[in-house]
Amino acid sequence: MGRIAAVYDWLDERAAIRSLVRKGLYEAVPVRGAWFYTLGSATLVLILLQLVTGIFLTLVYVPSVTEGWASLNYLKQHDAFGSIVRGIHLWSAYILLFVIGLHMVRTFFSGSYKRPRELNWVTGVGLFILVLVMAITGAFLPWDQAAYWTAVVVTNVPSYTPFIGSFIRALWRGGDFVGPITLTRTFGIHVWLVPAILFPLILAHLALLRKHGEFGSYINYRGAYRRREGVDVPPAPAQRPIEPPYPAVPTDELWAAPLETEDFFPFQTFKDGLVSVVLVIVVFLLAVAIGAPLEPIADPSTTSYTPVPEWFFLPLDELLLLVPQQLIPLVLVLPAGGVLLLLALPFIDRGPERNPFERPAVMVPGAFAVLFVVILTLLGSGRLFNL
Amino acid sequence: MNALAVIGPALHRLAGELPSTAPQGRNIVAAQIAIGSLFSLHILIAGLVSGAAELGPAIEFLGYMRQRRNYDRLAHGLGRFITLYFSVSSTIAILLVTVLLVGYWGHFWTTIVTIGWWPLFIEAWTFVLQVTLAYIWYYTWDPLRGFKGVHMAIGGLLAIASFLQVYMIDVIASYMLTPTNPQNPIRLVLNPTSYPLTVHRTVGNLAYVGFVIGAFCAIRFLRAKKPEDKVFYDWAGSFGVLWGISLTLLQPVVGYSYAKEIQLHAYGSWYKMMYGTLSPLFLWQITLLGIMFLTATLYFARRLRTNGARGAGLLKAMAVGLVLTILLAAQPYHLGLTYDAVAGAGLNRPFWEGGLINPLGSMIPWKVLALMFYTLIAIAAVVWYLRGLPGVVWGAARRGEQRLLMLLAVLTIFMMVTMGFIRENSRAPFLITGEMTIQGQQNIEPTPTPQSGP
């Protein structure tokens, strides 16, 4: 123990790790509803799992139309460990999309994006979009039938952009048609371009979270008690002990500091750790039990293959089916408009109110948007199982 | 005079006149009218019961979360409604099945029960579950007041049972329009329109119950004597219409998707709805949807104006926008009464060149655009109304607003009957598309009467 303490002291003298650990582990977080706050850390763990398994896969995968499918087929046929790693990569991506979506919905409904946490929301939206891009570009890489036809549909979507649509499509495809250059470029986007933006953005997101503290939910604050029948408003934060990083200023004093806090370690870390471990176990079990499918190699000349979109692509796929040809730019305009609105949200909804029931002007359109996506997904998935 | 001397021969004469078996579809028009009208009535009540059983627990949960007594009172009222009207809806359903379907369309009923045995079996048990849970939910309201979590859990189970019950019937109804090879229950459940019909009906039932809450509360508001009752019914009417219109806003997307599946899997029915004999009704349906949005927007505007709350002026402007959109949506494409007349006038020639075509009446892009504008304007109206609500004093509403609430419920009932009529008649002459016709019900001969011995 003495030697370990000596090494720790040596490191602390040079890298100030004691204060870093203290800063990292002993900050206050709201108590009530803490299980909901585990979604952020679960997202981070799943992204790291993506990174680790992705690195392993690049050791085997060859980004070419002639070798790409063969390299993954080799894993499937001859390398049980590699096959599981690919399964983990796929299933953690699926669960990541679900968890990050839930994290965003929770943040939206709790009003956590409000002053002074606007930039945290903006970086979060950026992360959500980048994870989606990772998922979509990753779906091209196996270069099996599903990947090829996904590439055909997805690379065509940007062509609905006014004026420069054809240029963007040609840029991505590397020509008029999906082919070898499309795969090479998409591989570059998937393993270099997007991660190069994603990881700095994660750091920025975490730094901002640490600066302002976890907002939690309206139930943690005095503001929640204002309109309750027969319930007194608790004392002002000034009369209660406030621990860093609260109060998050400048903000409305009703929403500046939670009424009850606890240390991040061990209380919140236990919950975060438990949720993350459960998710990783679920991912592993799915990877072993189901694995990652690999269809026959891409064959652009086939007429018998019926493409089935990835589940996260279902809302867009349903839109593509429903929107008439004359109004097809809507397929691009609606999601793009949705992203712009998400980015602008903290600057549109600037009132201090956090209670979702008292913010109808934002909650109603938000709930419609969520319902719209859910219903499109349901309708799209219904068609997948038609017999 | 001996009464038996009169009654006896009369009974013998009547026995000689009456048919020996059930009608078995011999009078096609009478059967269609009887079954169609009773089914409409059944759906109008059953939709309300199912919607209330799904919405009631949700309102109770909302009230618990928001600590508002009004919500609890409204949810309790819905519970009371379910216990009162469940049996009415069930009686009609039993009458439909045991008398009309077996009597008029026995061949069809035997076939559909054979094919859809599993969904109907599950439906029967969810029916038992639903009625059991509905009574427990309502009658344990006060005894379980100290255990609200348990009570809300019972409500949650009731909502699930109600959804499953509707879903199973939707499987049968959708199968009749887009039949699959019925080798097993999964194939039956996954027929192409089962999914969109279920989403469409679930959302529709929830919206419908909202509008009926609005109308019911409007009537009670006008009759209320106590100020606290006026406050409650004013608030509950507003809540109902907000709920109803918010869910109706989803219907253009869901309905469009449903129509798309019909186009892909039952083209004949789709053609009849969009271009054939049912297209005027479809046009009326799109127009009616706009009128519903308009009525709700007018209610929002008037309710805010009554208390001088902010937003009434903008809501009136939105109502004008909706009127213009309705005028666009209501345009017919063919200006002739028959397709032959349109073809005779040059088919695709617009009316200003002597033809009978009105390009503004085309589905794509104009009606699709109109549907989008309906939705966007109505979403904006809901948001603006909600923004103005803090300025509203409950209990101060005027008669005009209450009339609009009643009108909305009437329009919703029109909409439901119209939709049901279109869907059922789009299959005609089939009862099961491509498999069994209404006329085919006549071919069933009654079992021969046993002859007396030699």
The answer to whether B383 contacts A360, with C-beta atoms less than 8 Å apart, is: yes
The answer to whether A386 contacts B66, with C-beta atoms less than 8 Å apart, is: no
Name the band, by pLDDT with cuts 50, 70 and 90, for residue A372: confident
Contact A165, A159 (CB under 8 A): yes
Which among B59, B66, B371 is the top mutation candidate for probing chain A, defined by the most A β-carbons within 10 Å of its own β-carbon? B66
∠ CA B416-B420-B423, rounded to 5°: 140
Give the DSSP letter of residue A304: S
Radius of gyration of chain B (CA): 25
Cross-strand pairs, A29: A262
CA distance A349 to A362: 7
The pLDDT tens digits of the residues spanning B268-282 come to 999 999 888 898 999
- List A residues 180-209 in contact with B (Cβ-Cβ < 8 A): none
Which among B170, B383, B389 is the top mutation candidate for probing chain A, defined by the most A β-carbons within 10 Å of its own β-carbon? B383
The interface pTM score, or ipTM, of the predicted complex is: 0.72
Which of residues B451 and B156 earns the better pLDDT score?
Answer: B156
Say what the pLDDT of residue B53 is: 96
Q: Which run of H or E residues covers position B11? A: helix B3-17
B24 Cβ partners below 8 Å, 6+ apart?
B103, B104, B106, B107, B441, B442, B444, B446
Name the band, by pLDDT with cuts 50, 70 and 90, for residue B344: confident
Contact B237, B212 (CB under 8 A): no
pLDDT(B105) > 60: yes
Please give the structure tokens belonging to residue A189: 């986007």
The pLDDT tens digits of the residues spanning A288-307 come to 999 999 999 999 998 888 88
CA distance B58 to B47: 17
Name the band, by pLDDT with cuts 50, 70 and 90, for residue A194: very high
Contact B213, B74 (CB under 8 A): yes
The answer to whether A360 contacts B389, with C-beta atoms less than 8 Å apart, is: yes
- Chain B residues near residue A371 by CB distance under 8 angstroms: 250
Taking the CA atoms of B313, B316, B318 and B321 in sequence, report the sign of the dihedral they define.
Answer: negative
Name the band, by pLDDT with cuts 50, 70 and 90, for residue B453: very low
pLDDT(A205) > 60: yes
A164 touches chain B (CB under 8 A): no
The answer to whether B253 contacts A376, with C-beta atoms less than 8 Å apart, is: yes
Contact B381, B300 (CB under 8 A): yes
Say what the pLDDT of residue A18 is: 87
Place of tokens 């005009």: B400
A7 touches chain B (CB under 8 A): no
Please give the structure tokens belonging to residue B425: 């008649």
A51 touches chain B (CB under 8 A): no
The pLDDT tens digits of the residues spanning B368-419 come to 899 999 999 999 999 999 989 989 999 999 999 999 999 999 999 999 999 9
The pLDDT tens digits of the residues spanning B59-85 come to 999 999 878 899 999 999 999 999 999
Say what the pLDDT of residue B21 is: 67
Nearest to B371 by CA among B202, B200, B253: B253
Place of tokens 């997805």: A154
Q: What is the largest CA-CA distance in chain B?
A: 92
B390 Cβ partners below 8 Å, 6+ apart?
B309
Please give the structure tokens belonging to residue A81: 């460990």
Contact B176, B433 (CB under 8 A): yes
| 3-state secondary structure (DSSP) of residue B128 | helix
Name the band, by pLDDT with cuts 50, 70 and 90, for residue A29: confident
Say what the pLDDT of residue A242 is: 72
Lowest model confidence (mean pLDDT) among A134-148, A192-206, B230-244, B422-436: B422-436
The answer to whether B260 contacts A387, with C-beta atoms less than 8 Å apart, is: no
User: Residue B437: what are its φ and ψ, rounded to 5°?
Assistant: -100, 165
Name the band, by pLDDT with cuts 50, 70 and 90, for residue A92: very high
- Chain A residues near residue B68 by CB distance under 8 angstroms: 229
| Chain B residues within 8 angstroms (CB to CB) of chain A | 65-69, 180-181, 186-187, 190-192, 194-196, 199, 246, 249-250, 253-254, 256-257, 260-261, 265, 364-365, 368-369, 379, 382-383, 386-387, 389
The pLDDT tens digits of the residues spanning B45-56 come to 999 999 999 999
Give me the CATH topology for the region A28-215+239-384.
Cytochrome Bc1 Complex; Chain C (1.20.810)
Q: If you write DSSP's letter for every residue of B407-423 in order, what string do you get?
A: HHHHHHHHHHHHHHHHH
Please give the structure tokens belonging to residue B194: 């089962």
pLDDT(B446) > 60: no
pLDDT(A165) > 60: yes
Give the DSSP letter of residue B309: -
Which of residues B294 and A318 earns the better pLDDT score?
Answer: B294
- Chain A residues near residue B195 by CB distance under 8 angstroms: 378-379, 381-383
pLDDT(B454) > 50: no
Lowest model confidence (mean pLDDT) among A216-220, B147-151, B204-208, B305-309: A216-220
User: Residue B432: what are its φ and ψ, rounded to 5°?
Assistant: -120, 120
Q: What is the largest CA-CA distance in chain A?
A: 76
pLDDT(A96) > 60: yes
Q: How far is A387 from chain B (nearest CA, A)?
A: 6
Out of B68, B181, B383, name the one closest to residue A361 (CB).
B383
CA distance B211 to B239: 9
Q: β-pairing, A261-263 with A28-30?
A: antiparallel
Provide the mean pLDDT of chain B.
90
Please give the structure tokens belonging to residue B339: 């397709």
Ordered by start, the domain boundaries in chain A are 28-215+239-384
Say what the pLDDT of residue A161 is: 87
Out of A322, A376, A386, name the one closest to residue B260 (CB).
A322
Please give the structure tokens belonging to residue A144: 């099996």
Percent of chain A with pLDDT over 70: 95
Using CA atoms, how far residue B31 sits from B104, B277, B312, in Å, is 6, 21, 50
Please list, residue by residue across B69-99, b when 16 or more beta carbons sit within 10 angstroms of its beta carbon and e when fewer do.
ebbbebbbbbbebbbeebeebbebbeebeee
The pLDDT tens digits of the residues spanning B286-299 come to 999 999 999 999 99
Which of residues A240 and A226 earns the better pLDDT score?
Answer: A226
The answer to whether A383 contacts B195, with C-beta atoms less than 8 Å apart, is: yes
Percent of chain B with pLDDT over 70: 95
Mean pLDDT across A263-280: 93
Q: How far is B333 from chain A (nearest CA, A)?
A: 17
Say what the pLDDT of residue A249 is: 66
The pLDDT tens digits of the residues spanning B154-170 come to 999 999 999 999 999 99
Mean pLDDT across A369-383: 84
Say what the pLDDT of residue A218 is: 86
CA distance B222 to A194: 62
CA distance A318 to A370: 15
CA distance A345 to A254: 21
pLDDT(A15) > 80: yes
The answer to whether B67 contacts A228, with C-beta atoms less than 8 Å apart, is: yes
Which of residues B352 and A92 earns the better pLDDT score?
Answer: A92
Cross-strand pairs, A144: A297
Residue B367 identity (one-letter amino acid): K
pLDDT(B132) > 70: yes
Say what the pLDDT of residue B26 is: 63
Provide the mean pLDDT of chain A.
89
Say what the pLDDT of residue B15 is: 81
Torsion of CA A201, A205, A210, A215, to 10 degrees: 180
Which of residues B356 and A90 earns the better pLDDT score?
Answer: A90
